[in-house]
Amino acid sequence: DIQLTQSPSSLSASAGDRVTITCRASQSISNYLNWYQQKPGKAPKLLISAASSLQSGVPSRFSGSRSGTDFTLTISSLQPEDFATYYCQQSYNSLFTFGGGTKVEIK
């Protein structure tokens, strides 16, 4: 299995802050890394696919990048509606795996 290690597992931030979440893969997965946002009681919502491709309708303050097997989700200026849990997921092979999640809380 491809393991995805997300860090931090939680963070506190204020509106307007720049937030960075990291997802490290246990092996090379090329760009096959996706990011989701999940709010309480809701299904995950796809934000970014293929490491850096922003989905239609997702605000441009969200961005994704890759450096080797390290992937980063950045929120450039945190908005109140961004407080949620974020998950990475690899689609390099069909034995899909998710990261453990990062909960973004209000400071």
Partner 1 sequence: QVQLQESGPGLVKPSQTLSLTCTVSGGSINSGGYYWSWIRQHPGKGLEWIGYVYYSGSTYYSPSLKSRVTISLDTSKNQFSLKLSSVTAADTAVYYCASFGKYSYGYGPFDYWGQGTLVSVSS
Contact positions toward partner 1, by CB under 8 A? 1, 32, 34, 36, 42-46, 49-50, 55, 87, 89, 91-101
DSSP 81: G
19 or 89, CB closer to partner 1? 89
51 or 75, CB closer to partner 1? 51
Residues whose CB falls within 8 Å of the CB of residue 51, separated by 6 or more in sequence, listed in order: 31, 32, 33, 64, 65, 66, 71
CB of 92 to partner 1, least distance (A): 7
12 or 30, CB closer to partner 1? 30
Peptide bond into 8 cis (omega under 30): yes
